[in-house]
Chains A and B, each alone.
Chain A
Amino acid sequence: MRLGFNLLFGGFLTAVVILAGALAPWLAPFDPVLGANLMNAELPPDSEFWFGTDSQGRDVYSRILYGAQISLTVGIVSQVINSVIGVTLGMTAGYWGGWWDDLVNGLTNVMLAIPSLIFALAVMAVLGPGLVSLLIALGLTNWSWTCRIARSSTLSLKSQGYVLAAQSLGYSDLRIMFTQILPNMMGPILVMATLGMGSAVLSEAALSFLGLGIQPPFPSWGSMLTDAREMIQLAPWVAIFPGLAIFLSVLGFNLLGDGLRDSLDPHMRTRKA
């Protein structure tokens, strides 16, 4: 019963975020950047501005809709990079073993030892604030668990009959990895990526708070929240709605990830650090 709830509610929240982002140009009553009008600054929610306006006189509702695009971009792109790095390293390490395996293992240990937020902070300091920097920073930081899962899955799949059969047919290593092994471990990888999307969105908010977030005037939820923290008493709506948006979307990704994991493999344990 819980399994169904996680999957359904998580899927519902995620779908809302995707729809909000995709339909933002049609749903948003105002332009998120040029729609600014200082005469309308800091108005509380009403029938015109559903979530009120911010200090620049921009419609918070419109900005949250457009912000969904950024959050989704951050979540998806960073996790694609993570998965590609993690799977490539983990799968090859597990399949080939030897010095390469040792090297990948060592690298994974190093990455696990540096807290991901601190590593992302360092990368952002080098690349400077901005969306592309953020995607790179978050894409480079969280692949170690994916790598470990890919490696251990490969190790167990390597001795499966169909893999051995493919080897005896003389298929190349890469072909075997990508056609025989990869499809069979997509489940756990997908779960990791879904859960990772949530932490990427949270990291974006944390980095924004530390002054290394996304390039304004793009309406990222993290930077909206950070901008609003001085005004939380005067204009609480400016802080509450982006905070809620982050919370609900991350909750959606997490529930979806949990639900996917439970449905794929009820015995799999929480391994998220």
Chain B
Amino acid sequence: MFKTLSLAAVLSLGTATLAWSADEPRHGGTFNFTAPYGSAFSTLDTHSSPNIQEQFLTFAIHRSLYSWDSNANKPVLELADSVDVSDDGTTYTYHLKKNAVFHNGKPLTADDFIFTYERLATASNALSGASYLSIIKGVEEFGSGAATEIAGLKKIDDNTLEVTLNAAGNPGFNLMEATTAIYPSDVPLEQQAINPVGLGAFKFKEHIPGSQIVVERFDDYYEEGRPYLDRVNIIVMAEGSARDVAFRNKEIDVSILGPVQYSAYQADPELKDNLLEVAETFTRNIGFSQTQVEAFKDKRVRQAINYAINSDLIIERLVKGKAVRATSWLPLGSPAFDSEAKPYPYDPEKAKELLKEAGYEDGFEFEVTATPNESWGVPIVEAILPMLAEVGVTVRPRPIESAALGSTVQSGNFQAYIWSNLTGPDPLTVMRCFWSQTPQSACNYTAYSNPEYDKIYEAARAERDPDKQLELLKQANNFIQEEAPIWFFNYNKAVMAHQPWVHGLVPNATELALQPYDDIWIDDTAPESRK
């Protein structure tokens, strides 16, 4: 009797354990993550790099005041438990997390924020975080040396920080950036480039230049029960084909996929169930120079190009469905995206008609400055080339190295360019790119200028009611669609393949490759080397 009972108990215990192992995160193990955006890490001092590649490290080691909530699609408090906002919306009082400790044992205090922000704001340091801080009062004056401290930063006590902004607004979008990660005030800054110390769930172990960074579980991390993993290897792997082989060989746990691999993985029964997809907030487009090509000054010509290109076919066949057709500038995930709007249909007849009306029935020529990028570079220009030839327009790709694209476009030295531009998350910042006061060197790359548009944009900027503001931004976005200063190609659909034993990945629309390492865990079906 006793025996039977104990057997039943054992059995029920067994099922419980089984259920637990399927639903409950398992602690321990090694996660082989891949960093696909370059063949090395530029620096371990993440303040010095504005690039995604270094953020893979930042996400493991560091924390900023805010963080991005991928599920709610908005910034949320990270290093503070709560915040009090003044009635005029300019003063934010943060009650900092009391249990947050740096890897060297130092507890987080308001001094660390002031230390970090002062470093970023100093002009001679030339750090990219500076521009995010410029919303804080007194940052400009401090940066140029006119003030000895940042007027908008005040330490109330060790655990309370008061931040005063230049104008009312949500500082979360800016202060969640990886380039504003908080450094401990007692570690010399040059040490951060050699042996970085932060607040994150993992502490730095080693860096093999050009190969990988190893981070290990930080036992005193402020979030209870996190992280699950003991160790993360952040492996540098820029070559898509190398990543593909390594993933299929189960050497790596996740891999960001290009279009070709996406279609191959979808067709593979072993791989197709482990794909994580999200429409990222990037708009791929061809910008038409308003100054270099006479024909582009005519709205009908710009519209004609949008009609003449069979974008859906290119997305389906060349991009292998790894993109979402763009209607206008703002992407799918944007709060001001107009779900009613329809993209330009493929209509070569209409394009010919418009060209004829504009006086270009015999066509015209233009060059598209393009990098080798497979999703928004020369291959796309090659694909539109026969389509535009159909309506009499001759287009030639002008290949350029990736490094030269930015400076070429910013200096206005192009007839057209093809690029992928960040169009999220904050629609007000994004729509600023077509405001005539925005310089070409900032993001008004086509030097677009239209008083009517300026009126809508300025109204949106001045509007304090969030709903009305969104409505105005929606209107601005639809206006841009009609005006077609660019060819609206697509919004990137980012795809990450993961091994079946990986759990806790999130659909991060700002950048799918950035994953919260502290929520990730691997189950016991993982190979020996990961357990």
Stretch at the interface among B207-215, B276-284, B288-296, B394-402: B394-402
A211 to B401 CA separation, bound complex (whole angstroms): 7
Q: In residues 386-426 of chain B, which contact A (Cβ within 8 Å)? A: 386, 389, 397-402, 404
Q: Tell me if A230 and B385 are in contact (CB < 8 A).
A: no
Instruction: Flag A31-68 by CB within 8 Å of B: 1 or 0 each.
Output: 00111111101000000000000011100000000000
Residue-wise interface mask of A (228-252) relative to B, using a CB-CB cutoff of 8 A (1 in contact, 0 not): 0111111000000000000000000
30 contacts between A and B (CB under 8 A): A33-B382, A33-B385, A33-B386, A34-B386, A35-B386, A36-B385, A38-B317, A38-B318, A39-B317, A41-B317, A55-B260, A56-B318, A56-B383, A57-B317, A128-B399, A128-B400, A128-B404, A129-B399, A211-B372, A211-B401, A215-B397, A215-B398, A217-B378, A217-B397, A229-B241, A230-B241, A230-B258, A230-B261, A231-B260, A234-B260
> What residues of chain B have their CB less than 8 Å away from a CB belonging to chain A?
240-241, 244, 258, 260-261, 263-264, 310, 313-314, 317-318, 372, 374, 378-379, 381-383, 385-386, 389, 397-402, 404
Q: Which of chain B's residues have a CB closer than 8 A to the CB of A38?
A: 310, 313-314, 317-318, 383
Question: Does residue A91 face the partner (Cβ distance < 8 Å to B)?
Answer: no
The interface residues of chain B lying within 8 Å CB-to-CB of A106 are: none
**Complex CA–CA separation, A208 to B313 (angstroms):** 28
Asked if A36 contacts B383 (CB within 8 A), the reply is: yes
For B260, B261, B398, which residue has the most chain A Cβ atoms within 10 angstroms? Answer: B260
| B243 CB, min distance to chain A CBs, angstroms | 10
- Name the interface residues of A191-240: CB closer than 8 Å to any CB of B: 211-212, 215-217, 227, 229-234
The residue in chain A whose Cβ has the minimal distance to the Cβ of B310 is A38
- B401 contact from A37, A41, A129, A234, Cβ within 8 A: A129
Chain B contacts for A129, CB-based, 8 A: 399-401
* A interface with B by C-beta (< 8 Å): 33-39, 41, 55-57, 125, 128-130, 211-212, 215-217, 227, 229-234
- Closest B residue, CB atoms, query A58: B382
Q: Known: A34-B386, A34-B389. Is A230-B260 also a contact (CB below 8 A)?
A: yes
Docked-complex contact B401 and A125, CB < 8 angstroms? yes
Which A residues touch B385, using CB under 8 A?
Answer: 33-34, 36, 217
Q: Is the CB of A227 within 8 A of B399?
A: no
Contact A41 B318 (CB under 8 A): yes
Which residue from chain A places its CB closest to the CB of B380 in the assembled complex? A56
Chain A residue numbers with a CB within 8 Å of B378 are: 216-217
Q: List A contacts of B318 (CB < 8 A).
A: 38, 41, 55-56
* Complex Cα–Cα for A86 and B80 (A): 70
Q: B399 to A216, Cβ gap below 8 A?
A: yes
Measured in the bound complex, the distance between the Cα atoms of B310 and A55 in whole Å is 16
Q: In the docked arrangement, what's the CA distance between A229 and B372, Å?
A: 13
Q: Give the residue of B374, B381, B398 whose beta carbon is less than 8 angstroms from that of A230.
A: B374
Considering the chains assembled together, what is the distance between the CA atoms of A130 and B398 in angstroms? Answer: 9
Q: Which residues of B sit under 8 angstroms from A57, Cβ to Cβ?
A: 317
Q: State in angstroms the CA–CA spacing of A63 and B376 once bound together.
A: 23
Bound-state CA distance A187–B399 (Å) is 39
Top 9 closest pairs, chain A to chain B, by CB:
A38-B317, A129-B399, A217-B382, A41-B317, A230-B260, A216-B378, A36-B386, A34-B386, A231-B260
Contact of A56 with B401 in the complex, beta carbons under 8 Å: no
How far is the CB of B225 from the nearest CB of chain A, in Å? 41
Residue of B nearest to A226 (CB): B372
A216 to B261 CA separation, bound complex (whole angstroms): 23
Taken together as a complex, chains A and B put the C-alpha atoms of A215 and B396 apart, in Å, by 10
Q: In the complex, which residues of chain B have a beta carbon less than 8 angstroms from the beta carbon of A215?
A: 397-399
Least distance between A130 CB and chain B CB atoms (Å):
7
B372 touching A230, Cβ below 8 Å = no
- Shortest beta-carbon distance from A31 to chain B in Å: 9
**Cβ-closest chain A residue relative to B378:** A216
Residues of B within 8 A of A233 (CB): 244, 264
B263 to chain A, nearest CB (A): 8
Minimum CB–CB distance from A28 to chain B (whole Å) comes to 16
18 more A-B residue pairs beyond the given contacts A41-B318, A217-B397, with a C-beta to C-beta distance below 8 A: A34-B386, A34-B389, A36-B383, A38-B310, A38-B383, A55-B260, A55-B318, A56-B383, A128-B400, A128-B401, A130-B399, A211-B401, A216-B382, A216-B399, A217-B378, A230-B240, A230-B258, A233-B244
Chain A residues with CB below 8 A from B404, complex form: 128
Which residues on the A side are within 8 Å of B401 (C-beta)? 125, 128-129, 211-212
CA gap between A234 and B241 in the complex, in Å: 11
Instruction: Give Cα distance in the complex from A129 to B378, angstroms.
Output: 12
A36-B382 in contact (CB<8A): yes
